[in-house]
Structure 1
């Protein structure tokens, strides 16, 4: 085994409930924030998973509820996924067959570059680097499977 844990079926791996801890760093201002909550990957009618994340986001000392919904659909290759926003717009592809995946998402003038790494059966991480005229961010999220 190498540094990453290969996942032959990303949807099978993700299914279930995960504890989420995310740090957000604004590299331009030096501000830092934190999100803590839960992500549930539940079955979608017709195949795939519905990703529902909820928790608390603290930014500049202000705590507020935060949530997001994504759709993880079966991808073009066995064991991969196509990730879409709640409204169906494409977000990114996801292939964890090697335990690591890098993907891009252009958003207006900004570029989101995501790195997904699987550490073991119950831990994975995403790091999104966001660059653009108005953004210079690093978002690091650690996921731990809940029993």
Structure 2
């Protein structure tokens, strides 16, 4: 009986300590995602895309995103290393909107590159990334 009670207490305590780690990872992902998007938007706008990001594609975004990682973006690296990351992107003249889904973490985040902060982070599996991106762009 004592062993069963101790087991239940240990199980309860271990589940309580696991919750903040998951939330911390989501926060780290949001911060890394918005920081790198802001940096990437400026770099691409001034360089490769010659002051017009409207032709930026999802594939090129992923290539540029991987190249821009500086080493401290551990959570974002994990999402990109899941295999084939799911991305929806819409470029506009001086900015871009992007949604990135982490399959393992069961979360997607949508960000407008220029303003600081991830505007949407959701765990809805019922929306496709394209639908999420369209709603996000329309809300701006």
TM-score scaled by structure 1? 0.29
Q: Higher relative contact order by CA 8 Å / sep ≥ 6: 1 or 2?
A: 1
Q: Which has the larger radius of gyration?
A: 2
TM-score scaled by structure 2? 0.31
